[in-house]
Structure 1
Amino acid sequence: MAAPGATQADAGVQADTCYDAIIIGAGIAGLYQLYRLRELGLSVRVFETGSGVGGTWYWNRYPGARFDSESYTYGYSFSDALLQEWSWSEHFAAQPETLRYLNHVADRFDLRRNIQCNSRVTAARFDEAARRWEVTLESGERHAARFLITALGPLSADTLPRLPGVESFRGESFHTYRWPHYPVDFAGKRVAVIGTGATGVQIIQTIATLVGHLTVFQRTPNWCAPLHNRPITEEEQRKIKGSYPELFDLLRQTPGCYIHNADPRGTFEVTPEEREAFWEQRYGEPGFGIWQANFRDILTDPKANALISDFIARKIRQRVKDPKVAEKLIPKDHGFGTRRVPLETRYYEAYNQENVRLVDIRATPIERISPDGIKTSDAEYPFDMIIYATGFDAITGAFDRVEFRGTNGQRLKEHWADGPKTYLGLQSAGFPNMLTLVGPHNASTRCNIPRCIEQNVEWVTGLMRTVRDRGYTRFEATPEAEAEWSRHIETLADGMLYAQIDSWATGINTNVEGRNVRRILQYQGGAPAYRAHCDEVAAKGYTGMVLS
């Protein structure tokens, strides 16, 4: 039976139901894309793995999970009524509040009727004869649609460390991404946290005062800066709601769509005294200013980066009482800002507590997880609970977990085997009628993500409008346009210090087999330049694409 709004041709496809478009994922991107496609009168179905909407904010329920970009810059901007009726309680909202917000959006715009939860997509195959995608769910259900849009989170393919014995542990164990939906009791327990990335930082600082004893297993320390969060006052609330147009106009102009913009001065264009005072000011301000609003050259000039790194190192030494522990917490293999900077609230002070211990697993590697705890090369630690803050197979990992097959049966995973190949980060040659809202080579993965999501959704919606109005049934990026864009991505990364280090942003992940070669996954030209590229492509009739 064809879905409401589906064409007569849809009914001929051997599938349970047929739609104009299928969206994979009901997070921030999927919800907004659904809203926009329904406005066009298209029949749409969203398949969501979880039991509810929210994406990142549905899954990441671990203690301490919260924004690191200002709350009022994170929400959707498309509805003034929504902006005025929703009041964020804190400058950097916690996960429960954000999930309530996304559920409010789903209810306010009646989006749930087009969303099927508890529905993991395992495969998607393009039928060349019918010019449409056939999607298979884990349950065995099959659905078809003319167009396939992925709204997969860049950090949604969680990974566990490749250690023997993970399944043997007899106590409680959780990956932070798959935190249980019930309260977890920490009182009096011996708890291990493996990992000190952004997630690890948030959970360590939150549970350190709740547990009996906490042992942190750190492989790679990260440069962290203070969040300086606090409640939003009534006066601030009125000011925020009265200035949303100006705020969103500012966000459209900054490279990362944050309220912060790089200082136009170079690090060495000021005196040492002025430089120190400027960094003290930034360190004392809330949010990403110390990273996003620093001197313009700290992420490109090694000497400038060394100075800001030394400043942050001095702060760590001031805040951690034990000099040996402080040195373990100071990164030695990358400079400040060359990885995404975790924002913290008394994270370093947690290591001053008598019940907190730091283990450097570069010096004493973990050999295995035992039934009773963790065994390193020099000791065995008993635990009641192990928390894996071991991150994700970032950006491309979620795509690898779905069997995408395009023309001639080619697999997307194979097409991207030597690194992603895309056009605008939204399409790949050989995969017609498929669009990737959040993925490699578009601005969203190096951005205040909802802002870049909205840009991508609007562009996709414009394409869908053109396709509908002109009666097209197929569009596809050309191999030449794909190759040119992929070269452009590489060129933009030239001279960027981040491209010279190992991190999830450059595709390195020791928890995933084969993820040991650096790849440029992110668009480095800034959101305004990316938007201009996309707008130009659309204005010229979708150059680099074949529409038929």
Structure 2
Amino acid sequence: MTEAASVQDPERFDAIVVGAGISGMYMLYRLRELGLKVRVLEAGTDVGGTWYWNRYPGARFDSESWSYGYAFSQEILDEWQWSEHFSSQPENLRYCRFVADRLDLKRDIRFETSVTSAHYDEDANEWAIAAEDGYAARARLFIAAIGPLSVPVWPAIDGIGDFEREAYHTARWPHEPVSFAGKRVAVIGTGATGVQLIQEVAKTAGHLTVLQRRPNWCAPLHNSPITPEEQADIRARHEEIFDHCRNTHGGFIHDADPRRLLETPEAERLAFLEKKYAEPGFGIWMGNFRDTFTNEEANRILSDFIAGKIRERVADPATAEKLIPKDHGFGQRRVPMETRYYEVYNQDNVELVDILADPIRRVTKTGIELESGHRDFDMIVYATGFDAVLGGFNRIDIRGLGGQRLRDKWAEGPTTYLGLQVAGFPNMLTLVGPQNAAGFGNIPRGIEQNVEWVARLVRHMRDNGLEYVAATPEAETEWQEEVTRSSDKMLLSKADSWFTGINRNIDGRSRRVYLLYTAGMPAYRERCDAVAAKGYEGMELR
């Protein structure tokens, strides 16, 4: 590893990439391929990003493993073999390490480097990067590969620091095993993370109390090992699988059925919904009738079907009703995938508490004080999610032209061009950034598109002696309008979620803004390719 440089003596590179997750690793590979001198700065001690930080029991893919991994390298596809259709965190991290070793990426990654600032130097046309440990570097290009779900959020509850027993946030889980056996455990949160964790805690905890503010619609994952016959089929069809993903709305193997639910006979549509509910993965969401995404009546019928399944699976009717969302329809948030999650609430050692009806007053030294009284716990787990999309940018002091702070520019909501550049911040590129299509679906499929588009832009600049690229304010405004138009067509625009920028655990995050481009990956790819074909229309290059 390179010794830390002082602020007075920064290291110099052609490009600095922040983050060594799926996007940062691939960006490093592509920039090195172009002959650039690159340094990746990573806060953790290893590669992996999401799969390095999120080690909680139950963490796993919700995309099919063989549709999630990198598609760009035939050697990696030939050498790696997934063990499950929806792989768990330990295997996912091993995969990231395997790729890093196979491509010799770690020699250009500086670990344990938490970036605190990135300032654009107009005179030098360079980005000055500083880290918490005093490390400093400069580069012409600054590429943010920080991930849309990388900054954990603790709930706004008094006394969190007072608890004297075990306490964890799912996104900062210990590297050592944590035992729930025989313990009184509280899990706060029933989003995707909470759903995965609760299934595991309930197996061994003496008593599990789930503290739920608002339920989410969940659907069965139907995971299983990949058989030798399936392995052979997957290997034979890699190209076909990834080509298919490139042409689906979310980059998954699933794509919307061309029929409309409201135009399908009742018996036929019920049989279709039963079939999708019994199949693995996101088919029940992304592979459903087309109008369930845009028509309120069609979505209501689908939601009623899922609600019926919850009532069938949960023995106590009152508990079942608590688990059925009343504030949004099915699929209007990303759907948590589960394995016998609802059956957990049939166990004698599990209790569900609705904290809208029985609010948390504070955390104490020994437990949690609810409005109804105090409860002692041996462990509290905060499954309270992330400062989605914006958090990774806001925790770095990013300044562009004239010293403008990015967090000030985005105070009323993010504005970008293609989700890849920000007007007023030259030579800064954002992978899976705000208003990008990559965050809406199968993220690695979007990552590959983002990285390859950025690499083509960098090649174009190199080949034409260009050293400056900046989105124009006009192009940014037009993209904002396009993002809004596409999202307004979708029912998800009506739900409170990280898709729409709402997080009630963060002050001021109750204003609805669109953080993602939801018109689909094919439309997004076509738009990006058209910009490149027109000489990077909407960007000033010099």
TM-score category of the 2 structures, normalised to the smaller one: over 0.9
1:511, distance to aligned residue in structure 2 (A): 1.2
| Equivalent of 1:88 in 68, 82, 86 | 82
Map 1:130-279; keep pairs closer than 5 Å: 130-279=124-273
CA contact (8 A) 1:15 1:134 kept: no
CA contact (8 A) 1:62 1:177 kept: yes
| Equivalent of 1:311 in 272, 286, 305 | 305
For residue 451 of structure 1, give the secondary structure of its aligned residue in structure 2.
Answer: helix
Letter of the aligned partner of 1:315 in structure 2? K
For residue 455 of structure 2, give the secondary structure of its aligned residue in structure 1.
Answer: helix
Map 1:18-417; keep pairs closer than 5 Å: 18-417=12-411
Q: Distance in 2 between matches of 1:16 and 1:424?
A: 31
| Cα deviation 1:202-234 (Å, max 9, x = unaligned) | 000111011111000000100000000000000
CA contact (8 A) 1:26 1:55 kept: yes
1:525, distance to aligned residue in structure 2 (A): 1.0
Q: Distance in 2 between matches of 1:464 and 1:447?
A: 26
| Cα deviation 1:243-264 (Å, max 9, x = unaligned) | 1011111001001000001001
| Cα deviation 1:78-128 (Å, max 9, x = unaligned) | 111110110000000000000000000000000000000000000000000
Letter of the aligned partner of 1:431 in structure 2? F
TM-score w.r.t. length of structure 1:
0.97
| Cα deviation 1:110-165 (Å, max 9, x = unaligned) | 00000000000000000000001000000122110000000011011100001110
Q: Distance in 1 between matches of 2:54 and 2:389?
A: 17
Letter of the aligned partner of 2:66 in structure 1? Y
1:14, distance to aligned residue in structure 2 (A): 4.9
Q: Distance in 2 between matches of 1:496 and 1:104?
A: 39
| Equivalent of 2:509 in 509, 515, 537 | 515
Q: Distance in 2 between matches of 1:273 and 1:380?
A: 50
Q: Distance in 1 between matches of 2:302 and 2:539?
A: 44
1:510, distance to aligned residue in structure 2 (A): 1.3
Q: Distance in 2 between matches of 1:494 and 1:55?
A: 31
Q: Report how many aligned residue pairs link the two structures.
A: 539
CA contact (8 A) 1:59 1:177 kept: yes
| Cα deviation 1:476-505 (Å, max 9, x = unaligned) | 000000111111111111231111121111
Q: Distance in 2 between matches of 1:74 and 1:260?
A: 13
1:275, distance to aligned residue in structure 2 (A): 1.1
CA contact (8 A) 1:47 1:115 kept: yes
Q: Which runs of 4+ in 1 moved over 6 A?
A: none
1:183, distance to aligned residue in structure 2 (A): 0.6
Q: Distance in 1 between matches of 2:373 and 2:499?
A: 33
Q: Distance in 1 between matches of 2:262 and 2:34?
A: 53
- Over the matched positions of the two proteins, sequence identity in percent amounts to 61
CA contact (8 A) 1:66 1:94 kept: yes
For residue 208 of structure 1, give the secondary structure of its aligned residue in structure 2.
Answer: helix
Q: Distance in 1 between matches of 2:343 and 2:159?
A: 32
Higher deviation after alignment, 269-278 or 327-336: 269-278
Q: Distance in 2 between matches of 1:364 and 1:412?
A: 39
C-alpha change, 1:428 and 1:15, in structure 2 (3 Å) is farther
For residue 216 of structure 1, give the secondary structure of its aligned residue in structure 2.
Answer: strand
Are 1:469 and 2:463 an aligned pair?
A: yes
Q: Distance in 2 between matches of 1:194 and 1:456?
A: 35
1:422, distance to aligned residue in structure 2 (A): 0.5
1:448, distance to aligned residue in structure 2 (A): 0.1
| Structure 2 match to 1:430 | 424
Q: Distance in 1 between matches of 2:93 and 2:489?
A: 38
Letter of the aligned partner of 1:244 in structure 2? H
Q: Distance in 2 between matches of 1:155 and 1:403?
A: 18
| Structure 1 match to 2:472 | 478
TM-score w.r.t. length of structure 2:
0.98
Higher deviation after alignment, 508-517 or 309-318: 508-517
For residue 332 of structure 1, give the secondary structure of its aligned residue in structure 2.
Answer: coil
Any unmatched runs of 5+ in structure 1?
4-10
For residue 298 of structure 1, give the secondary structure of its aligned residue in structure 2.
Answer: helix
| Structure 1 match to 2:521 | 527
